[in-house]
Amino acid sequence: MPEDILINFTPQETRVAVMHQGVVQELHIERTASRGLVGNVYVGRVVRILPGMQSAFIDVGLERTAFLHVADIWEPRHNGDPARPIERILFEGQSQLVQVIKDPIGSKGARLSTQISVAGRMLVYLPQEKHIGISQRIESEIERESLREKITRLVPADEPGGFIVRTMAEGAMEEEMANDIDYLRKIWRDLQMHAKTAAPPALLIRSCPSASAYCVISSIRKPRASSSTRARTSRN
């Protein structure tokens, strides 16, 4: 089945059309002005700590400082260790790697987490936590076991992080999953390099270059005997 993906990119918006046999099947439109921030990763600066609320306000370069609650601070926790209060974890002026988990709305700033997750097509990468998870939506116990076994084998032994297997991975070929692992690890490596030199507050990665274009592009697979997929991009 021949499939073409047409991408029309302008500074204002990115439009993606998925074509099948010359007929448009799907449209994705994303506007720069209305793009959500969820998933963006920043190096922020802690501007205020409120022990009473067990929260902190972080400057990530947005109009309003963003909100970080102690429950969203990721800490390697050993069994039995009591949770530390926020004033013992952060200090004012500190730079901190954060990810937006909720868009700013009205007068409320964005909500942040310090646990970074990078979503690929089939996997979600959790670089700070060694954990293998399988989406609850994959119901078949046999499929879950087979995916768990596959991913455990594919993840390099020295990998400090973990992965969550998404529903898209159901029935996926090992090679495709391996590609996703490489890709996500590379994004994280690039991000860390960038984080070392960036002066806070700085945006490190946008959730998706264009959520749609990114997802679609990452879905392009190698042409098989009976299929060919091409993507064309245009700037005008």
Binding site for other proteins (CB under 8 A): 4, 6, 8, 15, 17, 19-20, 22-29, 31, 179, 183, 211-212, 217-218, 220, 222-223, 229-234, 236
Closest distance to other proteins from the beta carbon of 225 (Å): 16
DSSP 106-157: TTB--EEESS--EE-SSEEEETT---EEE-TT---HHHHHHHHHHHHHHS-T
Based on CB atoms, which residue is closest to other proteins, 131 or 230? 230
Q: How far is the CB of 59 from other proteins (least distance, A)?
A: 30
Q: How many CA atoms lie within 13 A of 146 on its CB side?
A: 12
Q: In terms of CB distance, is 35 or 102 closer to other proteins? A: 35
Distance CA 108, CA 14 (A): 28
Pick 26 or 75: Cβ nearer other proteins? 26
The least CB distance from residue 122 to other proteins, in Å, is 13
Nearer to other proteins, 48 or 230 (CB): 230
Report which of 2, 28, 8 is spatially closest to residue 232, judged by C-alpha positions: 8
Q: How far is CA 91 from CA 52, 96, 195, in A?
A: 15, 10, 19
Q: Report, in Å, the least distance between residue 152 CB and other proteins.
A: 23
> Which residue number, 54 or 229, has a Cβ lying nearer to other proteins?
229
Q: Give min distance, CB of 48 to other proteins, in A.
A: 34
Half-sphere exposure of 202 (CA within 13 A, CB side): 11
Residue with tokens 């200090």: 91
